[in-house]
Amino acid sequence: MIILSQQLVLGFMIGGLYGLAAVGLSLIFGVLKVLNVAHGELIMLGGYGAYWLFALLGFDPFASLLLVLPLSLLLGLGLYWALFGFVVRADEETRIKNSLLIGFGLALALQALAVKLWTADERGITTPYAGTVLIVGDLAIPLVRLASLAVAFALIAALHLLLTRWRWGRAIRATAEDWQAALLTGIDVRRAYLLAFALGTGLAGAAGTLVSVGYSISPSIGLEWTLKSLIVVVLAGLGSTFGTFVGGLLLGVAEAASAAAFGGPYREVVGLVIIFAVLVARPQGLFGAR
Amino acid sequence: MHAERRWAAVILLAFAGLALVPLAVHRDDTLNLIFLILLSVTLAQSWNIIAGYAGQVNLGHAAFFGLGALVTRTLWIGGTPVLVAMAAGALVAMAFALAIGVAAFRLRGAYFAIGTLALGEILRITTGNVFAQISTLPAAAIAGYRLTLRYYLALVLAALAVVVVAALATSRLGLGITATREDEDAAEASGVNALGLKLTALVTSAALAGLAGGLFAYYHISYYPQHPFSPHWTFDALLITYIGGVGTLHGPVLGAVFYVFLAEYLATRWVDLHLLIFGALFIVIVLLLPGGLVEAGERLRRLMRPRLRR
Amino acid sequence: MLLEILGLHAAYGDVPALSGVALSVEAGEIVALLGPNGAGKTTLLKAIAGLLRPRAGTILWEGEDLGRVPSHLIVERGLAMVPEGRRLFGSMTVEENLTLGAFAARARSAQDANLERVYALFPILRERRRQIVRLLSGGQQQMVSVGRALMSSPRLLMLDEPSLGLAPLMVQAILDVLVEINRGGVAVFLVEQNVRAALTLAHRAYILETGRIVGEGGGAELLQDPHVRRAYLGPLAAPEYFVL
């Protein structure tokens, strides 16, 4: 029992990162109807950004978020301008198919680039306070992971505020619901797309930073994180920022429970089974509107 | 239709030519290269059936490849003649396709892609856990290893794949399948059993992929059983088919030749960059030249035509 | 002349939808566009709103060619549309939908004033302003849709079948509001199936059949027109004859 509750808490904490990663993907998919399957690679790049800022300049990873976030936003702007901006010219079904393919090519290219630049070695950030552990009853909670969870939640809350209080945030939500009605209301839908894509990419970069400090990164983590994000998006459905975050937490806990019940190697399987089951049985997800 | 038949004839003729190569060339690296191309052709054509002709982007394709490899390897090392083992591998792959097909085809478009990716990964992880140890051929088999045997098997398989795709493309079945790809609801309304056709395409695709997996198992001396389940086999098939020309007969063949040669060339000069280049090339193709090399060839031909006065 | 349409041709693929349509709306007018289903009325509105590119012809707004204006800037020019089926942002609240109506630059400074005006026109929306729009009744949704369009301080309000799916009492309420809006100086271009109600309201009307304008005249005048009576106002065409 002691070991189980410890596992579940750890699962809960990484679930927060799953949620953050998924919210970025969900924003892009919900607004642009584009499935960027290179999302995981963007997370990976964010992680390397934080890693090198730490290794070369000694920046604390939580502080370097202040750099990685805007850089990721810019990367998102660039990717939209160069690639995904063209994808949105087609109708919805073609968009999804094309973005799937283009995202795949992008993922391939980014992963190869990362291997070329930084080798395939696994990296992690070990800060001076990395070893600090909070003892709560029988549980040992690594401070770094707890902080990551808190930051993830804070970012999600900030996004929620942006989407509700900021004029363009509301415009983004409106575009997601009905882009033609949005046009009629005077919203420049192309700009809404650009902003949503940039925000989603920014969140991916931030997630990557948190992954690099509490866990580890390597060029090949892309596919895994894209899959995790997809699982959460499908599980939670589109339309609710906090719902997606909760979906992430659920996945993290489900993985921990599965690992405890069937053994470590089967941790990954439960998420995959969930996504397949949900797609077939309840496509709108747990919190989805459609 | 006739274009398909013509191309099939051309390709089979080329294969006939390849049959003579081991008689003239005795270098293992040449035979290995051609083997790789032929294996790629088979795998790519198998994916082309479900994704190109039936229009269903199956991202869990490696599952069929892996199952074929797993069953073949297990049976063959256990003493079964390799051809029987390969047939068994294909059958298991087909059974799996049928089993998941009904559920998977309830998903459309991108969701089918994601769902099949998930299924493929489930299979890979499970295999990796159940068969964690590396699979190595017994010493006797290594001693008696003949590359030319595997070379000819690969040739036969690639020819089979081409014939199957050609037959499919020029048949009523193929017509129904492409109609379903273009507009499934309209096809259903015209009396086409869309699910039945999609399943047929998937099972055929699985059979060829399973055979390719069996060939893989017969060819490699040692590998980890979960390796052929890796999504990178799906992605290879995807890249080759798209670069060559998805939904055509000769596209995957052109793509396989191009892909293997380019990968070999880049591997010697620019190690690690071949995937970067393929990724970028793929993006360009999706955006600008969706028909791949086949489309590029046709555009060139059209450009040159006005200059030929008849 | 506020809105002038000259020789408009539109099509969906190979299927023609509008053939040489010409009409105009003057400032302060209520103009109705009537016609059977499939006549092309929605197509015409879509073309004006920039959601559809016409094959030929000109749409002039205060002398400017609207064809060159990107869709999201049409509202900036002073035209607002209440689309068919409301097309609200379902998961957002009444107030969020309304404030989005003031997204255009021209309306931003007037947002609070306009919101007050909309709530004055539709008091029930003030009560329900924090409610998710998807949960409102059809009539209330229509109010939000009209209100959203009004938030942009339009000079011309275009409505596509506002009475569709509404109870007769509701229809009358909406039409009364349109009269009031018009009295405030906003021109109204109304596409309506409810011919009697529309003609009672409108200063002028056009009749569109299979993509062509086949008739035009004053509202009261057309109410008496034999073709109109036979085609649209006879026992089979008048909604009040259906008691359900």
Q: What are the tens digits of pLDDT across the range B116-162?
A: 999 999 999 999 989 988 999 888 888 888 888 999 999 999 999 99
Residue of C nearest to A184 (CA): C72
DSSP character for B226? T
Q: Does the CB of A122 have a partner CB in chain C at under 8 Å? A: no
DSSP notation for A81-121: IIIIHHHTTS-HHHHHHHHHHHHHHHHHHHHHHHHHHH-S-
Contact C145, C83 (CB under 8 A): yes
Q: Which residue of B has its CA nearest to A105?
A: B279
Each of the 290 residues of chain A gets a pLDDT tens digit; together they read: 558 889 999 999 999 999 999 999 999 999 999 989 999 999 999 999 999 999 999 899 899 999 999 999 999 999 999 999 998 988 877 788 788 889 999 999 999 999 989 988 898 888 888 888 888 888 889 999 999 999 999 999 999 999 999 999 999 999 999 999 999 999 999 999 999 999 999 999 999 999 999 899 999 999 999 999 999 998 998 888 999 999 999 999 999 998 888 877 788 888 899 888 888 888 777 777 54
Task: Establish if C90 touches chain A: CB-CB under 8 angstroms.
Answer: yes
Residue type, C65: D
Portion of chain C with pLDDT greater than 70, in percent: 95
Nearest C-alpha in B relative to A35: B110
pLDDT > 90 in chain B, percent: 52
Q: Is B56 exposed, middle or buried (0-12, 13-18, 19+ CB in 10 A)?
A: buried
All domains of chain C, ordered by start, with CATH?
Answer: 1-78+157-162+187-244 (3.40.50.300)
Residue B254: pLDDT over 90: yes
Q: Which of C88, C89, C104 sits opposite A186 (nearest CB)?
A: C104
CB spacing of A170 vs C50 below 8 angstroms: no
Tell me if A286 is assigned to some domain. no
Q: How far is A97 from chain B (nearest CA, A)?
A: 6
pLDDT reading at B28 higher than 90: no
What local confidence, expressed as pLDDT, does residue B272 receive?
67
Contacts of A268 (CB under 8 A, 6+ apart): A224, A255, B121, B125
The per-residue pLDDT for C38 is 80
Q: Report helix, strand or coil for C205.
A: strand
State the pTM of this model.
Answer: 0.89
Q: What is the pLDDT of residue C128?
A: 92
pLDDT of residue B269: 72
What does the pLDDT average to over C41-56? 91
Question: Region C84-100: what's the mean pLDDT?
Answer: 93
B210: pLDDT strictly greater than 90: yes
pLDDT of residue A2: 59
Percentages helix, strand, coil for chain C (3-state, rounded to 5) are 40, 25, 30
Beta strands C79-82 and A133-136 are unpaired
Mean pLDDT taken over chain B:
89
| A240 within domain boundaries | yes
Q: What is the mean pLDDT of residues B232-245?
A: 91
How high is the pLDDT of residue B289? 83
- Copy the structure tokens of residue B282: 């793929």
Nearest to A178 among C73, C89, C152 (CB): C89
Among the partner-chain residues C50, C90, C103, the one whose CB lies closest to the CB of A171 is C103
Q: Give the residue-averaged pLDDT of B224-252.
A: 92
Q: Residue A235: which CATH number?
A: 1.10.3470
Q: Do the chains contact at B114 and A98, CB–CB below 8 Å?
A: no
Q: Which of B275, B281, B285, B289 is the best mutation test for A, with the most CBs of A within 10 A?
A: B275
pLDDT at B175: 85
Q: What CA–CA distance (Å, rounded) separates B64 from B84?
A: 17
Say whether pLDDT at C127 is over 60.
Answer: yes
pLDDT digits (tens, 9 = 90+) for B49-89: 999 898 888 999 999 999 999 999 999 998 889 999 999 99
Structural domains in chain A (count): 1
Q: State whether residue C103 sits within 8 Å of chain A by CB.
A: yes
- The reported pLDDT for the residue numbered C237 is 53
Give the domain ranges of chain B.
2-230
Asked whether the CA dihedral B94, B100, B106, B110 is positive or negative, the reply is negative
What pLDDT score does B173 carry? 85
> In sequence order, which residues have a C-beta less than 8 Å from that of residue A281 and are 6 or more positions away?
none
pLDDT for position A15 = 96
Averaged pLDDT score across all residues of chain C: 89
ipTM of the modeled complex: 0.88
Residues of chain B found within 8 Å of residue A98, distances taken between Cβ atoms:
286-287
C74 interaction partners in chain A (CB closer than 8 Å): 184, 186
Residue A270 touches partner C, C-beta closer than 8 Å: no
Strand order in C64-65's β-sheet? Answer: C15-25, C3-12, C56-61, C64-65
The interface residues of chain A toward chain B in range 108-167, judged by CB-CB distance below 8 A, are 108-113, 115-116
Residue of higher predicted confidence among C131 and A289: C131
A63 CB near a chain B CB, below 8 Å? no
Task: Report which of B278, C233, B205 is spatially closest to residue A101, judged by C-alpha positions.
Answer: B278
Q: Do the Cβ atoms of B188 and B83 come closer than 8 Å?
A: no
Q: Is the pLDDT of residue B268 over 80?
A: no
pLDDT value at residue C241: 47
- Look at residue A221 and tell me if it is in a domain: yes
- Indicate if the pLDDT at residue B267 is higher than 80: no
Q: Minimum mean pLDDT among A96-105, C52-61, C89-98: which range?
A: A96-105
Residue C7 tokens, joined:
């020789």
Residue C196 CA, distance from chain mean position: 16
State whether the Cα torsion B279-B281-B287-B289 is positive or negative. negative
Chain B residue at shortest CA distance from A276? B115
Q: What is the extent of the structural domain holding A163?
A: 2-281
Calpha distance C77→A114 (Å, rounded)? 49
